[in-house]
Amino acid sequence: MRIFLVSILAGVLACGAAQEPKALRVTTPTPLWDGRTLDGWYTWTKDHRYDDPLHVFSVKDGLLRISGEEWGGIATRAGYRDYRLLVEWKWGTLTWGERKTAARDSGILIHGVGADGAASGVWLQSFEAQVIEGGTGDLLLVAGEQRPAFTASVRQDGEQFYWQAGAATRQMTEGRLNWFGRDPAWKDVLGYRGRADVERPAGEWNRQEIVADGDTIVSIVNGVVVARATACSQQAGKIQLQSEGAEIFVRRVELLPL
């Protein structure tokens, strides 16, 4: 009986640990993309699991091209913790499907855990640093088998929450924390530009950074801190770049030590 109970306990602990897998602590600069291949990554789309017959993810002219044609992502095989993630990207010209005339959309997911496709059949349970025209740098909670959570200083405008340093804090378990300057008149239309956007116009390169320091996430766009969350329920995991209806090119994906 004692052996049986020990086995049950070990199984329970293993299930709990699965939500925060062993992850590499970043202590030296670590390029995640070699500029030539997709080594170290794997693909998952809603229609093609671990296979990419449409070449949604490819290398073109020394750049990582994400076509946007299928909803999905390309994820690191390894998990990471405590780092500064640097992604340099620019929009392409193609848009697809239901987002043909909508704002160009993608995203950078961090601390991805659990089953592939657990979030909407497409993405990992994670936190998202949004990449969308007019809203780049927003922080989203991407629910999978469980709901992730974080706390942030916010101001509320109707049903929308915007990051505001020094404001009252609020725990969030769903939805979006808008970056501080997101235009309240934002519209989901192709080419949207807000009055205070720090994202550069389509076709120009952007430098997006996400600092993951213990239970804190800081979202930075072109050198500007645009959002910050603390008490994050997940503090380690995979990194996933989204395909979400718009062509996007990436020239650098690198982890830097804190």
pLDDT digits (tens, 9 = 90+) for 77-132: 999 999 999 999 999 999 999 999 999 999 999 999 999 999 999 999 999 999 99
Asked whether residue 19 carries a pLDDT value surpassing 90, the answer given is no
Task: State residue 5's pLDDT score.
Answer: 35
Catalogue all structural domains in the chain, each as residue range(s) with its CATH number.
Answer: 31-256 (2.60.120.560)
Query: What is the distance between the alpha carbons of residues 214 and 82, in angstroms, rounded to a whole number?
Result: 6
CA 201 to chain centre: 21
Q: What is the mean pLDDT of the chain?
A: 92
DSSP states of 204-256: S-EEEEEEEETTEEEEEETTEEEEEEBS-S---BEEEEEE-SEEEEEEEEEEE
Is residue 64 within 8 A of residue 253, CB to CB? The reply is yes
Query: What is the distance between the alpha carbons of residues 28 and 213, in angstroms, rounded to a whole number?
Result: 15
The model's pTM: 0.91
